[in-house]
């Protein structure tokens, strides 16, 4: 949402294509990082003014949103928009390490970022499961570490150029000293032990770390990071630094002796992995300083003597940003913006980088980043996990806090953005749609029913997918129904909103005296009730149409019990809506049975769950 916008009556209709006059105002204050712009549309046409090319980029993104195609040509409502970002760092972490993401996916993601005015692509280029950049100096990095996919150096340059053209910086992350499985499989001489024989295919925090005690480690890292940093003109360079519990260090007598020798000991006299990691961080820092880079790392690199210019990206909790800025560091908030947890857009929207930060320290908060880790998102469905929810984070980071409190309005606008992204070619809608077509191929007549069913499902939240009796690895195909299910089921969300609005209008119904029969519903409530009954009937029909597909499509069969549960829930909801139409409160015995049924329907199946159960509970439990 723009910082300031006034809309006037009237529209400007463009003669042919939507033409926009651009005016670059060179003012004394203009800097290359100034993203402010002014967009005016009136009876004389459309004018975009900005002090820098970046401002022009951001204004163009807005212009794209205010023009509309009509049968009479392109037109735009008269407006005067003056806009600038609230935070200067508005990022998206893209993770091609867990599942490789080809350049085309990265470019489409950059297109989406530009549309919602995100300005930093945080490119997580290595992890346990993959090293994703060609190295001319150490080719085993990409031939072994990137055997399942890597970017050539030419491709990296191409992505950096493509992003820059859209006003987006690229900050690479080379995660060290933990999350180093692929690096160590390629160059075992950097490892703490010889137990790693191949690039790991398991998920989880593997606690594989390189040996930070040998000078040869730094000699190689110096060469590797010098080579890698040459590909990325951005002044920031992310070294990761997360999730290494030091177990490999403690198990190696030579590393333990090193720690003792350096007095890396805690208060009880035991070797302290934090101090060894701080030592490693300082070595990384001097290396990056030599390359003219500002170091960025996750919370874990925060230590007592970490120099203040180092940027901390906080992912572990809401306190992390406050801890970092109190110690003098610039900071980024990632906590609350993890798209891979499958939380709602509203949940991400509620997280603010300045929460809990004293006024005097707020200037140190650079902004934040949405994070999309790719354990459960391959190149086909990655975009569907990013969009449209990342747009909610983008708005949180761009718009004034006071303008961004209205959650229903957020969802109204997210629907527009989602449409815009789809028109631009982003595959967040079409990839899951194609997956459903593929799943329905053995019995295409059931495709509409499968679409109805899938639209009511969400993958289980947080990282529960790892813990539901199905063992995933890098090689597990992500082609099941759970992968086509939206991270946030919009149909279910809207169903819940209609239920709440119906219940609210019933609760304020004026009782009539003397009673002359069932209370009459207001016209709005009647329409809502009819719409809900129709929707529930559609769900019932869908569940009746699905069984032949479950028989013919073995990969879908596991979801048959969940579809059956949906059928039962739909029947219950139909009963409850009929009661409401008649003005009958539910009988306690009926309610008890209904609640037990909803408990059963809430259980995930195939790592997916029905997203309507919360709303169903509210409807069933209401006393109206």
Q: Which residues of 282-308 are buried (b: 16+ CB within 10 A; e: fewer)?
A: ebbbebbeeeebbbbbbbbbbbeebee
133, 137, 140, 146: CA torsion to nearest 10: 0
Q: Is the peptide bond before 388 cis (omega within 30 degrees of 0)?
A: yes
Q: Is the peptide bond before 514 cis (omega within 30 degrees of 0)?
A: yes
Query: How near is the Cβ of 397 to ligand ACM at its closest, in Å?
Result: 18
Q: How many CB atoms lie within 10 A of CB 164?
A: 14
300 among known catalytic residues: no
298 binds ligand ACM, rule: CB under 6 A? yes
Q: Which residues of 85-95 are buried (b: 16+ CB within 10 A; e: fewer)?
A: bbbebbbbbbb
Q: Is the peptide bond before 213 cis (omega within 30 degrees of 0)?
A: no
Q: With respect to ligand ACM, which residue has the nearer C-beta, 86 or 333?
A: 333
| Residue closest to ligand ACM when measured from CB atoms | 242
Separation of alpha carbons 181 and 444, rounded Å: 43
550 binds ligand ACM, rule: CB under 6 A? no
272 binds ligand ACM, rule: CB under 6 A? no
Q: How many residues bind ligand ACM (CB under 6 A)?
A: 4
Q: With respect to ligand ACM, which residue has the nearer C-beta, 12 or 338?
A: 338
Closest CA to 553 of 465, 456, 379, 436: 436
Query: How near is the Cβ of 240 to ligand ACM at its closest, in Å?
Result: 7
Separation of alpha carbons 269 and 241, rounded Å: 24
The 180-219 site mask, x for binding ligand ACM (CB under 6 A), equals: ----------------------------------------
395 among known catalytic residues: no
175 among known catalytic residues: no
Query: How near is the Cβ of 220 to ligand ACM at its closest, in Å?
Result: 24
Separation of alpha carbons 182 and 138, rounded Å: 13
376 binds ligand ACM, rule: CB under 6 A? no
Query: How near is the Cβ of 298 to ligand ACM at its closest, in Å?
Result: 5
Query: How near is the Cβ of 244 to ligand ACM at its closest, in Å?
Result: 10
Q: With respect to ligand ACM, which residue has the nearer C-beta, 341 or 361?
A: 341
The 227-266 site mask, x for binding ligand ACM (CB under 6 A), equals: ---------------xx-----------------------
Q: With respect to ligand ACM, which residue has the nearer C-beta, 315 or 559?
A: 315
Give the CA distances from residue 61 to residues 109, 197, 402, 423, 459, in Å, rounded to whole numbers and listed in that order. 15, 48, 22, 14, 32
Q: With respect to ligand ACM, which residue has the nearer C-beta, 181 or 496?
A: 181
591 touches 544 (CB < 8 A)? no
Query: How near is the Cβ of 351 to ligand ACM at its closest, in Å?
Result: 15
Query: How near is the Cβ of 342 to ligand ACM at its closest, in Å?
Result: 15
Q: With respect to ligand ACM, which residue has the nearer C-beta, 211 or 243?
A: 243
Which of residues 315, 337, 349, 411 is near ligand ACM by CB under 6 A? Answer: 315
Catalytic residue among 34, 127, 340, 352: 127
Query: How near is the Cβ of 470 to ligand ACM at its closest, in Å?
Result: 22
Query: Can you read off the two tokens belonging to residue 404?
Result: 């961004």
Q: With respect to ligand ACM, which residue has the nearer C-beta, 323 or 422?
A: 323
Q: With respect to ligand ACM, which residue has the nearer C-beta, 288 or 301?
A: 301
151 binds ligand ACM, rule: CB under 6 A? no
Catalytic residue among 179, 238, 335, 348: 179
Alpha helix locations (H) across 380-522? Answer: 382-386, 389-398, 407-424, 430-440, 447-454, 481-484, 490-507
Q: How many CB atoms lie within 10 A of CB 507?
A: 10
Separation of alpha carbons 147 and 128, rounded Å: 13
* Residues tagged active-site: 127, 179, 243
- Interface residues with ligand ACM (CB under 6 A)? 242-243, 298, 315
């Amino acid at each position: 949402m723009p910082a300031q916008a006034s809309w006037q009556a009237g529209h400007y209709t463009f003669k042919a294509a939507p033409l926009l006059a651009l005016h670059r105002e060179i003012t004394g204050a203009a800097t290359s990082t100034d993203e402010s712009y002014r967009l005016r549309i009136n009876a004389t046409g459309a004018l975009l003014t900005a002090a820098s090319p970046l401002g022009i980029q951001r204004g163009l993104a807005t212009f794209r949103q205010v023009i509309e195609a009509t049968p009479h040509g392109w037109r735009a409502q008269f407006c005067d928009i003056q806009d600038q970002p609230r935070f200067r760092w508005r990022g998206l972490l893209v993770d091609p390490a867990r599942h490789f993401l080809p350049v085309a996916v990265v470019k489409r993601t950059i297109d989406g970022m530009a549309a919602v005015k995100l300005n930093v692509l945080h490119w997580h280029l290595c992890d346990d499961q993959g090293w994703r950049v060609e190295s001319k100096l150490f080719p085993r990095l990409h031939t072994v570490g990137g055997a399942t996919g890597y970017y050539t150096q030419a491709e990296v340059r191409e992505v950096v150029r493509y992003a820059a053209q859209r006003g987006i910086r690229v900050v690479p992350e080379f995660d060290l000293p933990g999350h180093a499985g692929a690096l160590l499989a390629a160059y075992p001489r950097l490892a703490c032990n010889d137990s790693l024989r191949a690039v790991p295919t398991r998920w989880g925090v593997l606690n594989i770390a390189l040996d930070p005690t040998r000078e040869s480690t730094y000699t190689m890292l110096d060469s590797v990071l010098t080579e890698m940093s040459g590909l990325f003109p951005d002044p920031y360079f992310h070294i990761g630094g997360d999730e290494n519990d030091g177990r490999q260090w403690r198990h190696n007598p030579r590393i333990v002796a090193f720690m003792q020798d350096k007095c890396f000991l805690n208060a009880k006299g035991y070797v302290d992995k934090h101090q060894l990691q701080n030592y490693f961080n300082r070595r990384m820092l001097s290396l990056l300083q030599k390359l003219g880079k500002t170091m960025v790392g996750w919370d874990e690199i925060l230590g007592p003597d970490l120099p203040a210019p180092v940027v901390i990206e906080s992912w572990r909790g809401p306190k992390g940003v406050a801890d970092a800025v109190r110690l003098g560091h610039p900071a980024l908030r990632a906590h609350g913006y993890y798209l891979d947890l499958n939380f709602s857009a509203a949940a991400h929207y509620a997280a603010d980088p300045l929460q809990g930060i004293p006024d005097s320290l707020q200037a140190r908060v650079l902004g934040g980043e949405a994070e999309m880790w790719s354990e459960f998102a391959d190149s086909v469905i990655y975009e569907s996990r990013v969009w449209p929810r990342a747009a909610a984070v983008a708005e949180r980071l761009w718009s004034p806090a006071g303008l961004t409190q209205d959650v229903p309005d957020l969802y109204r606008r997210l629907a527009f953005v989602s449409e815009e992204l789809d028109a631009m070619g982003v595959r967040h809608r079409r990839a899951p749609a194609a997956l459903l077509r593929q799943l329905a191929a053995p019995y295409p007549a059931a495709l509409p029913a499968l679409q109805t069913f899938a639209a009511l499902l969400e993958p289980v939240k947080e990282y529960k997918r790892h813990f539901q009796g199905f063992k995933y690895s890098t090689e597990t195909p992500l082609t099941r129904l759970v992968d086509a299910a939206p991270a946030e089921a919009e149909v279910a969300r809207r169903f819940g909103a209609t239920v709440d609005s119906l219940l609210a209008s019933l609760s304020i119904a004026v009782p009539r005296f003397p009673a002359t029969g069932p209370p009459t519903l207001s016209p709005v409530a009647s329409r809502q009730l009819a719409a809900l009954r129709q929707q529930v009937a559609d769900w019932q029909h869908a569940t009746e149409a699905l069984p032949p597909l479950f028989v013919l499509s073995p990969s879908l069969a596991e979801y048959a019990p969940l579809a059956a549960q949906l059928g039962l829930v739909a029947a219950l909801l139909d009963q409850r809506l009929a009661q409401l139409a008649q003005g009958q409160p539910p009988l306690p015995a009926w309610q008890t049975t209904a609640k037990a049924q909803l408990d059963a329907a809430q259980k995930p199946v195939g790592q997916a769950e029905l997203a309507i159960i919360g709303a169903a509970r509210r409807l069933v439990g209401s006393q109206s």
